[in-house]
Chains A and B, each alone.
Chain A
């Protein structure tokens, strides 16, 4: 019962932020905030949330599109959210913002899909000190909309959907 009163460790802080532990370490190094004892107050963790441009989960209340393939269903939804939030060109958003709050298998699926689409040029990944950001490549906006709508797939996504 008193566990909520204990200082957060690395994994507790990572869970609170919806990050993998090593990504949290990256952010701590990037913001020169790595503690000597690997313990955090909730205030420190919440402060990092803002500094790192982390966002609250996007998926609360999201209806998944009708699709016979559950993997494609999730990827289409993720692309729909990315488009719906206006991340076309520009600086985009952290790649982990796209899948925060989802079960780990879904997070892995969506990350793989985003990377596959980036390899094909439809998304742009921008690595930086604070992590990787993703945005829809402007020239591919139409294609990505089609993929989100279920009207087409890419060869890499088709392979991914085979599971």
Chain B
């Protein structure tokens, strides 16, 4: 009997190789599926993380915007607060101003009585006679006579004026309590270079209207001291051509000056000059008014400019 052939054939070898390959391929496929699955899971995780990252970055950016809103909010609150305070001070200043105008009028009215009882009584009589009877007829007089009459009258008037100046040498003193008021100033330098100087006062914006037609009052004098300080500061820094302008800002007197080209230090110089002008003003001392000059950021005085409007310009 022929033994069953146990020798493998080439076909067997080839089949073995094919089986091996199929087996390996199957294993690889399984591994590939597992790797693909892991990749998909990681990609999903990454997408989720990126989404979270974007959300957090957006939230983080909102803090910057909120910080800017906080800054703007503070500026606006300061602006409103400054003007509320100054407006309240305006009322007190108006009252003190009216008190002093009345007191000055009373003193002026008493002058005639005081002069009539003094060693200048006869000159007072001459003066009044001139004003009532002679002055209206001056134009009709011959020139030579008119000169003599006027010359004599001027001598009489000069003597009376000197006595009046002595009698009214001190400013009228206020009887009310001391007032402490503020004047707020700023130098606007949007690009770091000064452009505009502004001072806001507790003086009513309308206080200087028709100044020729009403008695001078404390409000006018306070404003004059502010203007004095502005010119002193500007001249000290070489800004000789500066011109102040005044107007109303929320019903309060604001005094401004174009200070383009001003050196740094203008705000500090202005602060010093304001303090000195107020301290040295006898009329303010007599009025029992103490003024404090407060330097602030320009936005707090001028208010915030609407950025949309700004862009539109």
Contacts and interface: CB of A to CB of B under 8 A. Distances in A.
Interface of A: 1-7, 9-12, 14-15, 21-22, 25-26, 28-30, 34, 36-38, 41, 104, 127-129, 132
Interface string B155-168: 00100110011001
Given A6-B164, A11-B216, A37-B171, A26 B282 contact: no
Contacts of A37: 171, 282-283
B76 interface: no
Contacts of A15: 212
B235 interface: yes
Contact of A12 (B165, B216, B280): B216
B160 A11 contact: no
A34 B228 CA distance: 8
Given A7-B165, A36-B280, A38-B283, A30 B235 contact: yes
B232 interface: yes
Given A1-B131, A22-B246, A34-B228, 10 more contacts: A4-B157, A5-B160, A5-B164, A11-B220, A21-B208, A22-B244, A25-B231, A30-B235, A38-B283, A127-B240
Given A6-B108, A128-B241, A132-B243, A26 B165 contact: no
Given A29-B232, A36-B280, A10 B160 contact: no
A63 to B, nearest CB: 23
Given A5-B160, A34-B228, A11 B108 contact: no
Nearest to B240: A129
Nearest to B210: A104
Contact of A38 (B221, B235, B244): B221
Given A26-B227, A129-B240, A132-B243, A36 B282 contact: yes
Per DSSP, chain B at the interface is helix
A36 B281 contact: yes
B221 A10 contact: yes
Nearest to A37: B282
Contact of B228 (A4, A11, A25, A127): A25
A30 B231 CA distance: 8
Interface in B72-113: 108, 111-112
Nearest to A25: B227
Contact of A10 (B161, B216, B240): B216
B221 A2 contact: no
Contacts of A129: 235, 240-241
B20 interface: no
Contacts of A104: 212
B128 interface: yes
A11 B211 contact: yes
A2 B243 contact: no
Nearest to B112: A2
B235 A29 contact: yes
A69 B227 CA distance: 37
Given A30-B231, A127-B240, A2 B282 contact: no
B283 A21 contact: no
Contacts of A29: 228, 231-232, 235
A62 B208 CA distance: 30
The 8 closest A-B pairs by CB, nearest first: A127-B241, A29-B231, A129-B240, A9-B216, A11-B216, A37-B282, A25-B227, A5-B164
Nearest to B157: A5
Contacts of B242: 127
Q: Which residue, of B221, B224, B244, has the highest number of chain A Cβ atoms within 10 A?
A: B224
A30 to B, nearest CB: 7
B227 A3 contact: no
21 contacts: A1-B131, A2-B108, A4-B157, A5-B127, A5-B160, A5-B161, A6-B108, A6-B164, A10-B216, A10-B220, A11-B212, A11-B220, A22-B223, A22-B224, A25-B224, A25-B231, A30-B231, A127-B241, A127-B242, A129-B240, A132-B243
B276 to A, nearest CB: 11
Contacts of A25: 224, 227-228, 231
A104 B242 CA distance: 23
A2 to B, nearest CB: 6
Contacts of A128: 240-241
A29 B227 CA distance: 9
A27 B309 CA distance: 40
